[in-house]
Every structure is written in C-alpha cells, then in structure tokens.
C-alpha cells in the first residue's frame, strides 16, 4: 500500500534518460527514503520516434511533444526540468510552481537568470524548487550552502566550475602545449564543443558563479554582474612561469564579500600548488568555501556528464518528494539582502605581467617607474630571452585592479615596450592552511 | 510575531560554547531560514561557576548541573548533545526522542555504538536525529550520503578521518622524521593528546568509518566490525620508499561493498600521489566517495575543532527546527539491510613488505619462493643497504590478505630473514581519473 508520486519530465536527452534509469533502478531504496514509489508518468520530448527507440524503461505512451501538457497534467505531482535554455523552460517552471508542484531543475542558465524570482514563486506556492544539478553536476554544493552552513557566515567561494577549461589548462600544463593545439585535441575527443565560446570564454562558469554568490551571500547576483575573462589568451609561457614560481593556472569563479559589497568574477588565476584546488585535474570540478566558523571546505567531483548530473537531479527529486508527502518545504534560500556589487576596479590582489620589451639598457627602469607612478609595487621581476625575444616577467605586490589597469595602459603606450603579452591575477592569499 | 523554538544544550565545553555563540550571532539569518527564533533556554554543565564565568551570551539561570532536567523541561523543544561519551549521553538522547524532541549530536562514539537504535527511536517518535558533526567535523558528509546520493549506489568510501594522525604523517613525510619524534612535537603543540591511543591506534577513525559504512551501504556496521591498525609502527623508511614509488602514506578508513558483503577497515596505506586524498595535509580531513552514477566525489575540510564542529551542529539545529515547525522529518537513514561483514582475510589488494635480511646469496630466491608458495605474486623487489643493514623492499601484485598474512608468518620463521620490518597495504586501484 505504498503511496505513489508521479513525476513529469521536461526533456529527455542524456540527463533525462539517466534520471529515468536511476529512478527505475533503485526503486526499493528510493521508496524507503521518500515514503512513496516514484513513477515517471509523462515525458516531453522533441521527437517521439527517437525517444521511443531509446529503450528506456517506460511505456511508449508517456512521451509527448507538448511540454505544457506535462506541467498541466493533474496526474503529475513533481516536475523535473532537464530541457535547458531560458525559454520555454522558465515559463513552464513558473507555471508548475503556480500549480503547487515542486520543481527540480538542472538548468544553470535559467537559475542564474531568474533564480530569485523562482525561489519566490516556490515560497509563495509553499513547495520546493531544487537545483543541485545546476552547479557543478554531481557535487553537492547547493545543499551544503543552504543547509550545512546555514548558521555560519561564508566569506569566500572559489570554484573550478567548468570541466572543459580545466581539461585544457591541465593538458597545456602537463604537456607544455599551446592553447590552440590543446583545444583542437579536446574538440576531436569530444571534451570541447565545436563552438567552445560558452566554456572557454567563461560564460558557463559565470552563470554558476552567480548562483553560488547569491546563495553564499544571501543576495541577488546575476550572471551579468560577474566580471568575466576566458582562457583563450593563456600561453605555454604563462604556464611555465607559473610552474617555476610554485603556481598552477586555473580558470576559477570567485565570490567574496568585503564591506557589504559582493564581488563575483571568473578569470584565470595563478593559484599556489599547495592550494586544494590546484590538484583538481582534467575535467573535474571543485568548489572551495571559506566560512568563519567552519573554516576551509572543499567539494570535488564530476561537474558534468549525463549520469553525474542525473544523480544530483534524483537526489533532489527524492528530497522534494519526501517534503511534498509531508506538506513541508526544505531549506529555502535566505532572505535576499540588497548588496551592492563590487566593481572589478576595486579588487585588491597580486598580478603577473609579461612584457615583450626592447632589449636595451634602461627598459627595466622605465617599466619600474611606470608601475610606481600608478601606485603598483613590484615584488619580483626578471628578464627572459634577449634581442627580439626579450621579455620582462613581473609579479606585483597586492594592488588595486583599477591602478593595475592604468599601469597596463601606460605600459602599452611605452616606446620600448613592444607589447603587454599577459596579465593574470595571482591568488596567493587563498592558502589551504 | 516570530515563533520561538527553545534549545536545551547537554554539555557546554568548547563546542557547546561555539554553538551558543553561533546561535546568538546570526539571529536574523537563522530566523529567516527556520521560520522561528532559536533560543538556548537550558544548558547542562558540570560546574556552574565555571560555566557562568565564561561570558557566553546567555543569562546565568539557564545553567544546571542536571542534564535530565534539560531533557525533561517542557520548555525545551530541541535537544543538542555535545557532552560526549556513551553514558549518560545515550540515555538522555533516548529519553529526548521518546518525548518527541528532535536531537542533534556531535557524539561519534555514541552514533557508532548505538546509531541504528537511535535512528529507529527517532523514526518511531516522528522526529529528527541529526549527527553531521559526529563525522569529520565541519565537512558536510552525512547529508550528502543521506540526501544527495539517495538515488545513487555508493560503491566505496575512503576517508582521512583523523586530524592528529594526518598531521603526524604529513610532518614525518615532509621532514623525514620518525614517528616518536613527530608525536612528541605534536603533543607539545597540542595537536595530539597526552594519551594519543584513540587517535594513533585508529579507534577514533574506526568509529567514524563504522558510521560512514552504515550510511553508505544501508546496513549496520559497528566500530567493533571495523578492522583496525594504527600508525605507531610507521617508520621514516616506509615514507621514503612510498615517496620513491609515487605514493604517500595516509591513515584511512575504507568502506566498500563486494558481493553483498561490507568491508570496513582503518589502517595506513600507500596512496598514489595523484589521488585527491594524497594532497590532504596537516590536520585536515577528507572523505572520498565513489558512486555508480555520480562517479568520484571528495569532501574536504576541518575534521575537528570547536568552531568547525559547532558550525556543523548549528546547521543541523536549523534543519531539525525547520522540520519540527512543519511537523515533518528530514531524510532518514535508508532501510537497514542485514549484510555480512567481509573479514579482512578476504581483502584483495597490493602490499608493500620490508624485510631485514642476511646479506648473502640466495636470500632473494628464498624470499621469492616463500611468496610464491603462498600464492602471492611479486610485482617489484630490490635490495637496500648491505651487511647488517641489508633490507629487501617488495611490492606485491594484488593478493588475498589471508595469503599475505600466511606469507608474512612464513617469512618471519626463515633463518635468513632477520625480521619483517613493515607490511602496508597499497591502494593503487583508487585513482582519481
């Protein structure tokens, strides 16, 4: 005499297929944990024939090409959205919440864009809106931020949030290869898309960073609030210099709160080799969290892939189903405080600067004077190469980003500086111990 | 017109003090998250004068020396146990659950000893029993196992579960120092107890390993079911050999399920340097989880300390308070299936063996024959030193522990083997990618 809760699925690509497989594979355990049998009763797909041909353990007649029919179906108790994109996913989720149906989604783009509005819709309807799978795939990070650290104060979140770029940087670092070469390899192997912009440009990581920043600091941070730089300009030289100085180069999303302002940024950084994030290789993701009482935490795992994402979705489905049966709600996002976004110009950090220079007496003095004129102090400097390939490598002390940017502008205008080849931020303050 | 939920605290040492501090420091956020103000109304302590003198933000009259009075007080809605030990903590918690009061505890010893009975008491009473702080301090690991991975199948858990031993092994490895020397330093610095047995003997880790094994495999594993070896016999030579072969030495708790039998063991291992756990240094803890769909996950952070533990306790308090207000229960432990415990003799792994031998022709052949006679195949062997300090270093292929133990017995009886200096398990199968 088990109760039955009926799931409606929006989208049935590889993640959706994984969700169906997991829900039908662990029936007894899931029933024990939720207090109800979970049945997938409706699935919206683009192509009925293709969906039926996949041999998923559901009957043919659950498929429909009309996603609204899934949401509106009075037989559907819980809606799972794995179709992706802003539209029509956003409207469908809003409607499901309005109908009092809890929603589970893996849609980072949508949560980054409309999260606060959807949290509020869920609150108004008294049901759950869960999105563990939207950030860092299988890694439980939303739940720890919303629940485990609910009584603590998070001060900083640093995440390796994109598997493709971490794969590319790992290969570049271990093989001494250049960006274009590794990207081409990654595309051939299926680790990078034909159009890799969303990954290598940092857009994907920025959406996730916005979600994490909002949760960590109880405020609203949109993807467009996140300062963003990609990895396309990273060279083998940058990685070589980093290695020599005891750093690795990683594309990270960093969210922090300083004086009631929230900073959120995605860009490549020099990270000390001893930092727990430094050993995150290949396509793995990890999120490092600093909290006042808990101290340093890190969550590591597969940030993408059909089954890891499906695992996170099903964990959420079990959670919202248990709550629905008890007419309860799980942990909600905290009060959303209005906090200002800290502009990138106000960032205080160290910098690595690589300059192609004329190999002549006085260039170092000129360069040093330019830094000094803008209030940026140099911690380390040396020359590499000679003649046409002469380069100056500089590491600054902590400086204000705005001052550094002005320095770079002035350097670029100098007659004995041929080009500013690289500028990267150095996160030496984020140590493990 | 906020509702108020009243907390009764059993014990008020450094963790209890931290709980009081956190609950009174983040009042608005906590109220928003739970839907009620949380007030600490009763605290059981040993010494009233000492407790009052600590200047905690509570009035003097909340303190009592009678823990039963806290549990029985009709004004107490939620009981938080941070006194530790089996007795009277166990009886007090049982009574609180019987009275329909949810309980939060940080007591690993008790949960390892009586967990299943307490889960059942909580289930019968329809309230929560939460113990995130009992395993690995601030690291959220109970919640991920109970909730995030509820729809997945965990295949293995490997944890660095004790900070003291990880600190000692890190120092031994980085300074090339011997065990006794580093232990004495650690004791002087307060990183190790005057009587370090619970830590260095693996007892503390075994209790945590039992809790993790029970949760991961939906069964009952007691601390006494966990095979246990400590680190007192580890030498600088072992660490040097490990380093040369690309390993680090870590004390880990490993729980795995093979053919419906659960193996749970705590002992030092050779772990590949590329493994995510290998870079966990000093007093940090980490738990590595392999699940069928999610793949490899790792959770890292401070496994002990007053404020990290208090942070985990308060996370749980907020959770059970929210559920109590909704007359709901959070995720419960899954059905407890009766599964046999796999004896250590049936373990299949690789081994490192260090032998002090007579430096004479034929000893290698004799040793190799002894391994072969017991069905243990040698992967690598070399001699170190000469004369009186001649040693053979051997790494085996995967072998059955029972066969290896018989081999070791036979080696110890050989006339040209002076002693079996070290035997350690090599976990080369647990790779990150």
A53-67, B77-91, B299-313, B419-433: least confidently modelled range: B419-433
Interface check for B218 against chain A (CB to CB < 8 A): the answer is yes
**B260 has pLDDT over 80:** yes
> Is there a contact between A143 and B147 if contact means CB atoms under 8 Å apart?
yes
Q: Which residue has the tokens 């609180």?
A: B96
Task: With a cut of 90, say whether residue B332 has pLDDT above it.
Answer: no
Whether B22 and chain A come into contact, CB under 8 Å, resolves to yes
Note the pLDDT tens digit of each residue in A17-59: 999 999 998 888 888 888 899 999 999 999 999 988 888 999 9
Find residues 287-306 of chain B whose CB sits inside 8 Å of chain A: 291-302, 305
Known binding residue A91? Answer is: no
> What are the residue numbers of the active site of B?
208
pLDDT band at A429 (very low <50, low <70, confident <90, very high): low
What does CATH list as the number for A3-137+306-325?
A: 3.40.50.720
Task: Indicate yes or no: CB of B433 within 8 angstroms of CB of A151.
Answer: no
pLDDT of B153 strictly over 80: yes
Q: Which of A208, A250, A273, A339 is catalytic?
A: A208
Q: Which CATH code, of 3.40.50.620, 1.10.3720.10, 3.30.360.10, 1.10.220.10, is assigned to B148-301?
A: 3.30.360.10
The reply, when asked if residue B301 is annotated as ligand binding, is: no
In what helix (H) or strand (E) does residue B151 lie, and over which residues does it extend? none
A33: which chain B residues are within 8 Å (Cβ-Cβ)?
Answer: 150, 331-332, 334
pLDDT recorded at residue A335: 60
3-state secondary structure of B95: helix
Are B295 and A335 within 8 A, CB to CB?
no
Phi, psi (degrees; rounded to nearest 5) at B310: -60, -35
Residue A209 is assigned to a ligand binding site: no
Is B326 in CB contact (< 8 Å) with chain A? yes
Residues of B in contact with A312 (CB under 8 A): 148, 294
Q: Is the pLDDT of residue B433 over 90?
A: no
> From CA A167, how far away is CA B31, in angstroms rounded?
42
Write out the two tokens for A339. Answer: 């906090």
Token pair, residue B281, equals 């240094």
Give the pLDDT mean for A86-106.
Answer: 98
For residues B13-39, give the mean pLDDT: 91
Contact predicate A15/A313, CB 8 Å = yes
Q: Lowest mean pLDDT: which of A40-44, A79-83, A351-355, B384-388?
A: B384-388
Q: Give the span between the Cα atoms of B225 and B264, in whole angstroms.
A: 7
User: In 10 A of CB B41, how many CB atoms?
Assistant: 20
Minimum distance, in Å, between the CA of residue A27 and any CA atom of chain B = 9
Residue A48: CB atoms within 10 Å = 12
Find out if CATH 3.40.50.410 is the number for domain A347-426: no
Label residues A79-108 b or e (16+ Cβ within 10 Å = b): bbbbbbeeebbbebbbbbbeeebbbbbbbb
Over the stretch B289-321, which tens digit does the pLDDT of each residue have? 999 999 999 999 999 899 999 999 999 999 999
Give the pLDDT band of residue A94 (cuts 50, 70, 90).
Answer: very high
To the nearest whole Å, the CA of B421 is away from the closest chain A CA by 32
Q: Where are the domains of chain A?
A: 3-137+306-325, 148-302, 347-426
CA B378, CA B391: separation in Å to the nearest integer? Answer: 16
Please, what is the average pLDDT of chain A? 94
Q: What is the pLDDT of residues A73-82, one digit of tens each?
A: 999 999 999 9
- Helix A363-373 and helix A401-412: axis angle, to 10°? 140
Put simply, the answer to whether B326 touches A331 (Cβ < 8 Å) is: no
Banded pLDDT at A1 (limits 50, 70, 90)? low
Q: What is the pLDDT of residue A30?
A: 87
Least confident of A5-14, A144-153, B199-208: A144-153
Q: Are strands B348-357 and B417-426 parallel, antiparallel or unpaired?
A: antiparallel
**Angstrom distance (rounded) from CA A234 to CA A277:** 19
CA distance to A154, A249, A415, per residue, from A274 (Å): 22, 13, 39
Beta carbons of B311 and A152 less than 8 Å apart: yes
Residue A432 has pLDDT above 60, yes or no: no
Q: Do the chains contact at A326 and B328, CB–CB below 8 Å? A: yes
Average pLDDT over residues B77-82: 98
**pLDDT at position A331:** 86
Burial-class residue B127 by CB neighbours within 10 Å (0-12, 13-18, 19+): buried
Architecture of domain A148-302: 2-Layer Sandwich (3.30)
Q: Which two tokens stand for residue A221?
A: 């941070």
In contact, B106 and B15? CB cutoff 8 Å: yes
User: For the segment A234-275, what is each residue's pLDDT rounded down to a tens digit?
Assistant: 999 999 999 999 999 999 999 999 888 999 999 999 999 989
What is the per-residue pLDDT across A382-426, written as a single tens digit (0 to 9) for each? Answer: 999 999 999 999 999 999 999 999 999 999 999 999 999 999 999
pLDDT at residue A2 tops 80:
no
Q: Is B389 at the interface with chain A, CB within 8 A? A: no
Backbone angles phi, psi at A80, to 5 degrees: -115, 120
Torsion (CA) B169, B171, B175, B178 in degrees, nearest 10: -50
Grouping H, G, I as helix, E, B as strand and the rest as coil, residue A51 is helix
Average pLDDT for residues A267-290, to the nearest whole number? Answer: 95
Structure tokens at B171: 């120092």
Q: Report the distance separating Cα B12 and Cα A5, nearest Å.
A: 44
- A138: nearest CA in chain B? B294
Q: What is the pLDDT of residues B393-414, one digit of tens each?
A: 999 999 999 999 999 999 999 9
Tell whether A371 is within 8 A of chain B (Cβ). no
Residue A172 has pLDDT above 50, yes or no: yes
Q: CATH assignment of B344-426?
A: 3.30.70.260
> Kind of pairing, strands B36-44 and B3-10?
parallel
Give the closest of B30, B279, B296 to A302, CB-based: B296
Helices (H), A47-145: 48-53, 67-72, 89-98, 108-125, 142-143
- In whole angstroms, what is the distance from residue A106 CA to residue A129 CA? 11
Query: B299, A302: Cβ pair inside 8 Å?
Result: no
Chain B residues whose beta carbon lies within 8 Å of the beta carbon of residue A140: 140, 143-144, 147-148, 297
Q: In this complex, is the C-beta atom of B284 within 8 Å of any C-beta atom belonging to chain A?
A: yes
Share above pLDDT 90 across residues of chain A, in percent, rounded to a whole number: 86
CA distance A26 to chain B (A): 7
Q: Is the pLDDT of residue B370 over 70?
A: yes
pLDDT tens-digit profile of B113-125?
999 899 999 999 9
């Amino acid at each position: 005499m088990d109760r039955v809760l009926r799931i409606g699925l929006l989208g049935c690509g590889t993640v959706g297929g994984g969700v169906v497989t997991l829900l039908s594979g662990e029936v007894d355990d899931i029933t024990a944990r939720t207090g109800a049998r979970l049945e997938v009763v409706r699935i919206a797909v683009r192509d009925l024939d293709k969906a039926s041909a996949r041999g998923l353990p559901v009957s043919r007649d659950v498929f429909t090409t009309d996603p609204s029919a899934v949401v509106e179906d009075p037989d559907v108790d819980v809606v799972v959205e794995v179709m992706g994109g802003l539209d029509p996913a956003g409207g469908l989720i809003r409607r499901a919440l309005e109908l009092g149906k809890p929603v589970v989604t893996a849609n980072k783009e949508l949560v980054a864009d409309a999260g606060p509005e959807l949290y509020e819709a869920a609150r108004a309807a008294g049901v759950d809106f869960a999105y563990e799978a939207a950030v860092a795939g299988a890694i439980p990070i939303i739940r720890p931020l919303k629940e485990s650290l609910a009584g603590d104060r998070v001060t900083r979140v640093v995440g390796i949030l994109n598997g493709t770029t971490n794969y590319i940087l790992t290969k570049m670092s271990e093989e001494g290869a250049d960006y274009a070469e590794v990207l081409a390899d990654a595309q051939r192997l299926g680790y990078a898309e034909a159009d890799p912009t969303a990954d290598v440009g940092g857009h994907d990581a920025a959406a996730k960073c916005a979600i994490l920043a909002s949760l960590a600091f109880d405020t609203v941070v949109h993807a467009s609030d996140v300062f963003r730089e990609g990895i396309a300009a990273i060279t083998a030289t940058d990685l070589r210099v980093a290695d020599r100085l005891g750093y690795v180069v990683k594309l990270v999303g960093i969210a922090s709160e300083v004086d009631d302002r929230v900073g959120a940024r995605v860009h490549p950084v020099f990270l000390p080799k001893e930092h727990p994030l430094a050993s995150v290789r290949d396509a793995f993701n990890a999120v490092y969290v600093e909290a006042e009482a808990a101290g340093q935490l890190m969550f590591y795992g597969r940030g993408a892939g059909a089954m890891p994402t499906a695992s996170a979705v099903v964990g959420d489905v079990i959670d919202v189903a248990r709550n629905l049966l008890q007419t309860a709600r799980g942990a909600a996002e905290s009060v959303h405080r209005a906090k200002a976004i800290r502009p990138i110009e106000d960032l205080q950090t160290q910098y690595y600067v690589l300059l192609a220079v004329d190999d002549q007496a006085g260039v170092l003095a000129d360069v040093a004077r330019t830094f000094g004129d803008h209030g940026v102090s140099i911690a380390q400097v040396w020359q590499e190469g000679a003649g046409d390939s002469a380069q100056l490598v500089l590491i600054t002390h902590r400086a204000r980003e705005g001052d550094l940017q002005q320095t770079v502008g002035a350097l670029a205008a100098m007659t004995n500086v041929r080009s500013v080849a690289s500028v990267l931020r150095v996160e030496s303050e984020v140590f493990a111990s």
